[in-house]
Amino acid sequence: YSTPPPHLDFRAFVSALRSDNDLADIDAEVDPRLEVAAITRRAYELQSKAPLFNNVKGAHDGLFRILGASGGLSSDPQYPYRRLARHVGLPPTSSLGDFIDTMLSAKGKEPIPPVHVGTGPCKEHKLFGDNIDLTKLPAPLLNKADGGNYIQTMGINIVQHPTKPWVNWSIARAMVLDKTRLVGLIMKPQHIARIYEQWEESGKDMPFAIALGAPPIAVMVSSMPLPEGVTESEYVGALCGEPLELVKCETNDLYVPARSEIVIEGTLSITERAKEGPFGEMHGYSFLDEESVQPIYNVKAITYRGGNAILPISVPGRATGPDETHTLIGTLASAEIRQLLQENGLPVLNVFTPYETQVIWAAVQIDRKKLWTLKTNAEDFCRRIGDLIFRRKCGMQIHRLLIVGDDIDPFNFKDVIWSYASRCRPGMDEYHFEDVAAYGLVPYMSHGPGTKVTGGKVVANCLLPHEYNQEQLWVTCDFENGYPEEIKEKVLRRWTEFGL
């Protein structure tokens, strides 16, 4: 059969990175205990090629190779987003704006349900019963403070609502507990937690599947906070214009992408729990006193692709070079926030969570001419935006919104911080929200001075009062805006002649 495109087949995605010269094949033996993760973390921070560890110490019977930084910024300084573009079939020259536009392009389109096929690459090898020993797999230790080996950081957690036709795909971390069990974070208001609660009420353990090395576009949609009740695989179909091919699990009625590298399936217990974490998380901290007790995943089968299956991993941390918890979670929450604001008639051009703010802030770019027609003011406008975003799940992990004008590029942090620093008056231009759900993993919430699960949110108005009803009363003093076109053209034409 012909090889599918990179966004539909993880192995083709890896080959595409290799042909993009954006992959490093590491054939030397590397230790999954910290060494793999340290190399991956440094690869994010230096924006180097994605490391493919072809010779992981302790790998056996085709389990497994490891790919780090699948969603990191690419090593090509001119096109840093080409690795993200490869996930969704966009040209390598695409911008973050193109990526967000693409992820929203299926909104309003008819969902395209997946098709069920008899078998696929993920069925080439199967382990059951005593052949399952998770402690014998080279599951990586990602940070010296981690409480376990996190085998699940880039797979798709597949769960189905017990009574409604809703199959949710998301990414939720899980670490190896013992021979046949994992333990992982199940955190409200995430959909996996909402659906888990329904199983608790039904009194039955929740069937699960974790599809690792799944089609890259499916990983993207799994990381996207689509509305409650939306079956992610149908949104993937609408994005691609064709149904995704799924195969049935061996031990339950869930379906997984046929082309996945590794599938772990079983039931998530509604009674058994265990200590989970600490885990080096997306804000760059691993709190040593993290007392997370989470549900236990009982593993009933592992199936995997031949040719040495590849386990993708994410090593979250400081976004000095962003990792997938910034490039996926931040960017895809930005997409849903933009969608929500535009659907509610707000004059929003784009939204983005700057990596320099560890994707805890989001810049909301306003079309100022349209803003004038609302005949509004900073307080009403900012409160309206805060009420919309901070009371919805897609805004859960954002604690500061910056309302900026269309002269500001939300994807350029220097623009964003210039407008925040110079136009947002302390004590008058920030509107606080203490009665909204907080993102509990943000350090000033989990280990801060105040409440832990509510509040700590703010909307910062970065527009001067007159921008709400007229043209800006200033000339911006930079090369782009401070000089007439003919001067700029002359300067650019003679730049090399000046030897500058």
Ligand X SMILES: Cc1cc2c3c(c1C)C(C)(C)C[C@H]1C[C@@H](c4ccccc4)[C@]4(C(=O)NC(=O)N=C4N2C[C@H](O)[C@H](O)[C@H](O)COP(=O)(O)O)N31
Which does residue 187 bind out of K ion, ligand X, Mn ion, none, counting CB within 5 to 8 angstroms by kind? ligand X
CB nearer ligand X, residue 65 or residue 191: 191
Beta strands 361-366; 400-405: pairing state: parallel
* Min separation Cβ 342 and Mn ion, Å: 20
Q: Does 191 bind Mn ion (CB under 5 A)?
A: yes
Pick the piece of the chain touching ligand X (CB under 6 A) from 131-139, 166-174, 359-367, 384-392: 166-174
CB nearer Mn ion, residue 171 or residue 315: 171
CB nearer K ion, residue 198 or residue 454: 198
Q: Does 194 bind Mn ion (CB under 5 A)?
A: no
Pick the piece of the chain touching ligand X (CB under 6 A) from 167-175, 340-348, 402-410, 423-431: 167-175
Pick the piece of the chain touching K ion (CB under 5 A) from 165-173, 179-187, 249-257, 277-285: 165-173
CB nearer ligand X, residue 329 or residue 417: 329
Interface characters, 160-179, with Mn ion (x: CB under 5 A): --------x-----------
- Which 20-49 residues touch ligand X, going by CB under 6 A? none
The answer to whether residue 272 is catalytic is no
- Which 391-410 residues touch K ion, going by CB under 5 A? none
Which does residue 326 bind out of Mn ion, K ion, ligand X, none, counting CB within 5 to 8 angstroms by kind? none
Which does residue 172 bind out of Mn ion, K ion, ligand X, none, counting CB within 5 to 8 angstroms by kind? ligand X
Q: Which of 59, 172, 274, 416 binds ligand X (CB under 6 A)?
A: 172
Q: Does 168 bind ligand X (CB under 6 A)?
A: yes
Q: Does 187 bind ligand X (CB under 6 A)?
A: yes
CB nearer ligand X, residue 123 or residue 326: 326
Q: Does 190 bind K ion (CB under 5 A)?
A: no
Q: Does 223 bind ligand X (CB under 6 A)?
A: yes
Interface characters, 323-352, with K ion (x: CB under 5 A): ------------------------------
* Min separation Cβ 90 and ligand X, Å: 18
Residue, CB closest to ligand X? 170
Q: From CA 16, how far away is CA 26, in angstroms rounded?
A: 16
CB nearer K ion, residue 170 or residue 358: 170
Q: Letter for the amino acid at 236?
A: V
3-state secondary structure the chain: CCCCCHHHCHHHHHHHHHHCCCEEEECCCECCECHHHHHHHHHHHHCCCEEEECCECCCECCEEEEEECCCCCCCCCCCCCHHHHHHCCCCCCCCHHHHHHHHHCCCCCCCCCCEECCCCHHHCEEEEHHHCCHHHCCCCECCCCCCCCCCECCCEEEEECCCCCCEEEECCCEEEEECCEEEECCCCCCHHHHHHHHHHHHCCCEEEEEEECCCHHHHHHHCCCCCCCCCHHHHHHHHHCCCCEEEECCCCCCEEECCCCEEEEEEEEEEEEEEECCCCCCCCCCCCCCCEEEEEEEEEEEEECCCCEEEEECCCCCCCCCCHHHHCHHHHHHHHHHHHHHHCCCCEEEEECCHHHCCCEEEEEECHHHHHHCCCCHHHHHHHHHHHHCCCHHHCCCCEEEEEECCCCCCCHHHHHHHHHHHCCCCCCEEEECCCECCCCCHHHHCCCCCCCECCEEEEECCCHHHHCCCCCCCCCCCCCCCCHHHHHHHHHHCCCCCC
Catalytic residue among 276, 281, 290, 324: 281
* Min separation Cβ 437 and K ion, Å: 18
Q: From CA 97, how far away is CA 335, in angstroms rounded?
A: 9
Residue, CB closest to Mn ion? 191
Q: Does 170 bind K ion (CB under 5 A)?
A: yes
CB nearer Mn ion, residue 168 or residue 331: 168
CA 270, distance to chain mean position in Å, is 27
Token pair in block for residue 250:
């061996």
Pick the piece of the chain touching Mn ion (CB under 5 A) from 98-106, 127-135, 183-191, 284-292: 183-191
Q: Does 234 bind ligand X (CB under 6 A)?
A: no
Token pair in block for residue 450:
């105040």
Q: Which of 329, 382, 389, 403 binds ligand X (CB under 6 A)?
A: 329
Residue 386, by phi and psi: left (phi above 0), alpha (psi -120 to 50) or beta?
Answer: alpha
Q: Does 260 bind ligand X (CB under 6 A)?
A: no
Pick the piece of the chain touching ligand X (CB under 6 A) from 124-132, 168-176, 401-409, 472-480: 168-176
Is the Cβ–Cβ distance between 250 and 301 less than 8 Å? yes
CB nearer ligand X, residue 173 or residue 305: 173
CB nearer ligand X, residue 232 or residue 429: 232
Q: From CA 324, how far away is CA 316, in angstroms rounded?
A: 7
- Which 356-415 residues touch ligand X, going by CB under 6 A? 397
Per-residue CA distances from 406 to 24, 368, 411, 466 (Å): 40, 6, 12, 14
Question: Which residues are known catalytic residues?
Answer: 281
Site residues for Mn ion per CB under 5 A: 168, 191
Site residues for ligand X per CB under 6 A: 153-154, 168, 170-173, 185, 187, 190-192, 223-225, 282, 314, 316, 324-325, 328-329, 397
